[in-house]
Structures are given as structure tokens and as C-alpha cells.
Chains A and B, each alone.
Chain A
Amino acid sequence: MAGAINNTPRSVVTTESRPVRYLLTGLALLFVGLFLVIPLLSVFVEALRQGWKLYLAALVEPDALSAIKLTLLVAVISVPLNLVFGVAAAWAIAKFEFRGKSLLITLIDLPFSVSPVVAGLIYVLLFGAQGWWGPWLSDNDVKVIFAVPGIVLATVFVTFPFVARELIPLMEAQGSDEEQAAMVLGASGWQTFWRVTLPNIKWGLLYGVILANARAMGEFGAVSVVSGHIRGLTNTVPLHVEILYNEYNFVGAFACASILALLALVTLAAKSYVEWRSARLALEDQRNALNDQ
């Protein structure tokens, strides 16, 4: 490792002396350790404080299991929805010119700028008993908020931009030359999409899906507003963690929190892999292009 560093020629831009560089690097590491690594570790330490047995017991407890099931269900519904929408929106925005395009881009960004609590309240205002459609829903015995559909809606809202935001710059950079070539050669719209567009964006797409999934499983604010907090029925894992913590059940709370933390770590690992993989593929493409010349 040290040899590798010594062999690397010092960048011309780096003019700071060695101690200054060490100091800055050390400071950065200290900050990362203090604000990221230690808190994350503390979740696992607290969860395992009273041993594996209690840790596992806290996870297979019926309310915890139903929270985990609900969280997975919400992710399984909302992530594919956003995948389909994100690809469609990004495709429309990046490959075509139409009126209201900038408005559409702004709308896609809206969930990023709106507080999750407001996102939840929007659905309460629409579907709540005192809301616009509340009386009709109640008369027809359709439950939206304080039930699974409301939680899914709120999650779809907050994860809305992830896939589209990831794809738009990528697709814009790629341009539409390849698609046009495919069309000229007689490919149908679907064929163009499946054979040309999708392979080009698949890594970016995967990256967006991973981020959307992480947010879908971890969302607290918006879901808290529309959940109704019925134990074993409408509590997702983040809500369950809060309830257990308020009950002084710290082992249970941190055990469930560790599930979320693990998910975050797996997501990060997947994300790094996708980044590394797509960077390598891009490099290979460049090399191939050079060789062809």
C-alpha cells in the first residue's frame, strides 16, 4: 500500500507539505469516524448488548415480523412503480422535445424539496375522513390512509425522483443517435427501447433502483403521518423502532434498527459495486473504441 503511494507521482496540483496533507486527511477520517462509523457501530452494540438470544427474539416477535413484512411489501410495490415511471419520464425528457418539459422536470423534483411530513399530509387531505374524497371512500368502505394503500402511496411519493433523476443526465449525455440509427434500420419503438436504450442505461437504472429501495424501506416521516400506528398491522420497521424505543425496549428497538442499518450497508455495497462495474465498462468501451480506430 505504502509502496503504491510512493510510486505514484505527486499531483502537480498538490502543493501542500506532507504534514498539512496528513493533518487534513486525519481530520477528514476523524470526522467520518465520529459522525458516521461510531453511531452506526453503536446501533449494533446496543442491539447485541444483552446477547444474541434476545436480539433474535426481538426480531421474530410477531409485531416485529409483521413490520418487516409490511416494509418489504411496500418496497416491492413502490420500487417497481417508480422504476416504470422513472424510465418513462427520463426517456421522454431526454430523447424528445415537447412543451412543458421543464415543468415536468420541476414536478419530478418536487418530492425532494417537499418535507416528508407534508407529503404524508397531502394524502391525509385527499383521502382522510375530512378530506376531499374521504366521505366517498368511507361510504364505499375503501380504506386508503391508516392502511397499506396509504403507506404505499406516501412511499411512492417520496421515492418518486430517484430513478428519473438518475437516468435523465445519463440519457441526455448519450443523446439519441443510436436510437435514430435503430429506427432507420427498421426497428420498432419497443425493439429500440429493449435492444438499444435499456442496455445503455441499465447500470444507471440499477443505481436509481437501489437508492429508491433504500429510501422506501427507511422512510419515516411521510409514512408516520398516514400509518395510524396500529401494531402488527400498519407499522413499518422505522415506525416499529420508534415505538419500541418509546417503550424502553432498547434491545428490541436497536435490533430492528440494526436491520435497517444492515440494509443501508448492503445498499452501499451494491451501490459501490454498480459504480465500479459501470466505470469499468465505460473504460472498456473507450479502449475498444480506440482499438477499432
Chain B
Amino acid sequence: MIKRASTLLVAFALVAQPAFADVTLLNVSYDVMRDFYKDYNPVFTKYYEAKFKDKVTLQQSHGGSSKQARSVIDGLEADVVTMNQSLDIDAIVEKGKQVNPGWEKELPNEASPFSSLQVLIVRKANPKGIRDWNDLTKPGVQIIVPNPKTSGNGRYTYLAAWGYAAKLPGGNDAKARDFVTALFKNVPVLDSGGRAATTTFMQRQIGDVLITFENEAEMIAREFGRGGFEVVYPSISIDADLPVAVVDKVVDKKGTRKAAEEYLKYLWSAEGQTVAAQNYLRPRDAAVASRFAKQFPAVKLFTVADFGGWAKAQKTHFDDGGIYDQIAAKVAGK
């Protein structure tokens, strides 16, 4: 029996190999990015084959950003990681040592080829009259947000709301904390990730406002039609960097460094930036940005640097016993 099983295993291993390709790259990414890379991968393989006469095959793995980083640390052999916050790549540097320190200097824009921001998605005709962050703390408004403990998307929302309140005239950290507490009091369901939150809002029709990335709003439009909701741009929001890095230990072992570096560098090319803009990710390239200016309204932005960077923000707000935990305990007590 065992012999038969192992023969099968070998047979399967042979079948499972893609038609013998010169290079195979594994891109370990997070949920919401799969739509972008589905479009980007064929554009890249075409470019790479034309330029180097080598075939390249892309494999993809998707899940929550932090969970995916954990898998890479535990040995998932990713050639490149494409995440929604630098903290996840820093974790790979520290805990797994598969990515070399200084990865954010290897590529332009702190290794973030495009960005997004947190927007408010409301039901058609905006029945609750949501215009800005301060409308979210009104009684009777239900907000859908993924859990900041498990989701980068949720952390950006939390920081965006905090930043809004702290930057108001006369605003400070104490007021920001009260504001965020009031906001989370209006959250009926905390989903574990961005996609789950979208499904709660659109499929299960729970809540009045969904707070998520701007590019996720476009995905909702494609999947559920444009008639069902409206996007509200708040007066101020947070700039969400979407960093990428080559996994040094893996590419050196597999001998795929050249292809992996090309794969990431090409994200900054006019073609890569155009695919990003088509997926409603804000491009870095000025020419591409101006071509798509109509779909990206100008919004006043602040960054995680205002919180002292991701490492500090994580420690103050999201680590166990941090401010978010205290707020969550208060909200649970109501």
C-alpha cells in the first residue's frame, strides 16, 4: 500500500510540475492584491521573455498579509513578497532572516510601487448622509471594518481615524482616542480580513459604511455592479504603502535572483504602473498618474511616519495590551 502511495506521489509530483519552464517564481501576496497580479503577471512574462529569451512562470499564494508573512518565515519558499505594510516584511527580516535588512532601499519609493488610501463606502444615495470621518461616530451608523489585530487593512483604518481626530484644530491624542473608541462602538462585526469585511457589507448587506482601500472599492464595482454603493472620499486619509521585496535567501538558493529582481523592478515601468492604475492603485509614475488623474481625486494624506513608523505604531497601538486592546475592552463593556 505504502509503495503504491509513494509511486503515486512521485507520479503526481511529475504531473504537477508546470511544462518545463526556465524559471518559476512564487509571489506570496495578500488577499486583495490577487486581481492586480492576475493582470500584471502576463504583462511581465511577455516583457521578460522578449528581453532575456527565458521563459518565466508565476505561481501565486494569497491570504491575510500577516499570515502570509508568517508562512514565509516558516519556510514557504517565496521568491518575492508583496504585502500591504512594511511591518510584515520587517517581520521576515527579523524572525526568519530570509530577507536582508535594508530591503526598502533596494527599490524606489521605499520599495512601494504604488499606494492606496482608506475611503468610505456607503449604500446607494448615501441614506445616512456620510461625508467625513466625524459622521461615523453618530449613533445608529453601523460601520464594517476588519479587525486591526489581524488585518493591515484594519490597522490603516484605525490609524486614519486616529490621524483625522488628532489633526483637527485643537485635536490631540486623548481626543483621538475618544474618537476611535466612539467609532469602534459603531462596529457590529469585526471580520478578520479586508475581503471578509467586503463580503459582510456587500453580500450579507450588513452595515451602513464599509471602510477599506480605494482599490478594493473598484473591485466591489466590478463584482457587484456600480449601482449598489457610493464611494465617499473623506477630508483627510492615510497613505497606504504596498511594499514589495525579493526574498534573498530563497532566490540565492533557487538561483532565481535575476528574474525576481526584474519582476519587482518592472512594477515601476510605464506598463506596470498602467496596470496598477487600471486596478485603481495610485501610481508613482507622474506621467501615468496624470493620465489617470480623473479616477484619483486629490485627498489630503498623512502617512504612518506621523505615528513614528510602523514598528512604533504597532507597539503603541496594536501589540497585546496596546491602545487598541484597551479600546476594544471598553467597547465590549459599552
Contacts and interface: CB of A to CB of B under 8 A. Distances in A.
Interface of A: 66, 69-70, 73, 76-77, 80-81, 83-84, 124, 127-131, 134, 138, 143, 145-146, 148-149, 228-233, 243, 245-248, 250
Interface string B27-49: 01001001100000000000000
A131 B35 CA distance: 33
A243 B96 CA distance: 26
B74 interface: yes
Given A76-B8, A129-B75, A81 B26 contact: no
B92 to A, nearest CB: 11
A246 B15 CA distance: 28
B306 to A, nearest CB: 31
Interface in B59-86: 59-63, 71, 73-77
A134 B75 contact: yes
- In the complex, which range does the number of interface residues on chain B fall in? 35 or more
B223 A248 contact: yes
A232 B59 CA distance: 8
Interface of B: 1-2, 4-5, 8-9, 12-13, 15-16, 26, 28, 31, 34-35, 59-63, 71, 73-77, 95-96, 98, 195-196, 199, 203, 219, 223-224
A76 to B, nearest CB: 6
B75 A77 contact: no
Given A230-B61, A233-B16, A143 B196 contact: no
Contact of A131 (B5, B34, B74): B74
A270 B59 CA distance: 38
Contact of B60 (A145, A231, A246): A231
Q: Give the 5 A-B residue pairs with the shortest CB-CB distance, closest first.
A: A129-B75, A128-B74, A248-B223, A246-B195, A228-B76
Contacts of B60: 230-231
A267 B34 CA distance: 35
A138 B75 contact: yes
Given A73-B8, A143-B77, A130 B95 contact: yes
Contacts of A131: 74-75
A146 B77 contact: yes
A43 B98 CA distance: 42
B62 A124 contact: no
A231 B59 contact: yes
A145 B26 contact: no
A145 B76 CA distance: 8
A73 B9 contact: yes
Contact of A229 (B5, B61, B73): B61
A80 B4 CA distance: 10
Given A80-B5, A81-B2, A148-B9, A248 B219 contact: yes
Given A66-B16, A148-B12, A248-B219, A76 B73 contact: no
B302 to A, nearest CB: 30
A231 B31 CA distance: 13
A66 B15 CA distance: 10
Contacts of B63: 229
A243 B75 CA distance: 21
Interface centre among A80, A127, A228 (most CB of B within 10 A): A228
Contacts of B203: 250
Contacts of B199: 245-246, 248
Nearest to B31: A246
A146 B5 contact: no
A231 B75 contact: no
A12 B9 CA distance: 59
Nearest to A234: B61
Given A228-B76, A229-B62, A246-B62, 8 more contacts: A81-B2, A130-B75, A130-B95, A228-B28, A230-B26, A230-B59, A230-B60, A232-B59
A230 B18 CA distance: 13
A148 B8 contact: no
Contacts of A124: 74
B88 to A, nearest CB: 15
A130 B13 contact: no
B34 A247 contact: yes
Nearest to A129: B75
Contacts of A70: 12
A246 B191 CA distance: 13
Given A69-B12, A76-B8, A146 B71 contact: yes
Interface centre among B61, B74, B219, B223 (most CB of A within 10 A): B74
Contact of A80 (B1, B59, B73, B219): B1
Nearest to A66: B16
